[in-house]
Amino acid sequence: MSLRGRLLRIGGIGGVLTYLFHLSRQAGLARGQVEPPGMLWAIGVVSVLFFIRALLSETTMGTDADRQKDFLWGLTVGGVATILIRLVS
């Protein structure tokens, strides 16, 4: 697959993950639940783990694993975007 296709897939996965985090947060707030302390730290740690896994996958796996690698990159991008959006708002 082309680089453009990979970037679109990564961006799509990241965007969906960011939207789902936002939707989950809004649903919790609507029910009167407060966000657990340290949630952004938890998302950050998981994003770092996905980033490390994505880097290792890029260097060790061939092109046949592009979908798996794109999924890992998308999870990384979605986690980072979620943190940035919450910090800005």
CB 57 within 8 A of CB 65: yes
| pTM for this model (two decimals) | 0.90
Chunk the chain into consecutive blocks of 10 residues (it has 89) and report each block's average pLDDT, rounded to whole numbers. Answer: 90 97 94 91 97 94 88 97 94
pLDDT at 30: 94
Question: Which two three-digit tokens encode residue 69?
Answer: 């690698």
Please state, in angstroms and rounded to a whole number, the distance separating the CA atoms of residues 44 and 58: 21
